[in-house]
Structure 1
Amino acid sequence: MDRPTPRVNAAKLAEYSTGKVVRIIGKVLSLENDQALLETSDKGQVTVKLMKDSNLADTFVEVIGKKSGDAVVTELSSQNLGESIDLELANKVVELTHAYPDVFPTNE
């Protein structure tokens, strides 16, 4: 994606309307058919509807997607982030980006 997107956790995702493109870091809890269940940085859960060529292969991933329902995001792109991420630190980044929108613009 070549435009800034807001970083969200489960709580911040709930604040956006359907159709908003967002960015989520999370731990893959399950992969079934065409969807993944992520534990977000605030310990919430978000379902990600996966693209046909999705390749979520690591424990931790970042997903850029379009909000398509309550706690549901449709994947537009994703990045594998490895087997170890500090989700507490990732959550602090989410909170800071929302606390200081002048420093972290999202073109809203």
Structure 2
Amino acid sequence: MDRPTPRVNAAKLAEYQTGKVVRVIGKVLSLETEQALLEAADGGQVVVKLMKATPRKDSNLSDTFVEVIGKKGSDDGVVTELSSQNLGESIDLELANKVVELTHAYPDVFPTGE
């Protein structure tokens, strides 16, 4: 994405309005054709509605840990994928959660485009 987006965990996701573009790092708990279930950095769960397969866009979630940039859905805990990045097989989710908390505690240092 070409603009700053807030990093969120499951709890922080609930604070945003429908349609807000956010970033969430998590562990893939399940992966189906149309959606994935992530354990977010705070231990909560986020449902990711995956991009539909098209000639140009397709979800590429293949690692255990991923970052998803997406729009918050009308239901809390749901994000519609716009982009995603595989992050490998080992991530310190506790540290990732601290990053989320710090970005919200210091918005002047970590701009979110709001």
TM-score (norm: length of structure 2): 0.93
SS in 1 for 2:108: coil
Are 2:72 and 1:67 aligned?
A: yes
Distance in 2, matches of 1:101 and 1:90, equals 17
Show structure 2 runs of 5+ residues with no match: 53-57
Deviations 1:34-90 (A, max 9, x none): 100000000000000000210100000000000012100000000000000000000
Which residue of 2 is the match for residue 9 of structure 1? 9
Name the count of aligned residue pairs. 108
TM-score (norm: length of structure 1): 0.99
Which residue of 1 is the match for residue 55 of structure 2? none
Which residue of 2 is the match for residue 102 of structure 1? 108
Runs of 4+ off more than 3 Å: none
Identity fraction in percent: 88
After superposition, residues 45-60 of structure 1 pair within 5 angstroms as: 45-52=45-52, 53-60=58-65
Show structure 1 runs of 5+ residues with no match: none
Distance in 2, matches of 1:21 and 1:98, equals 15
Structure in which a larger fraction of residues adopt strand:
1
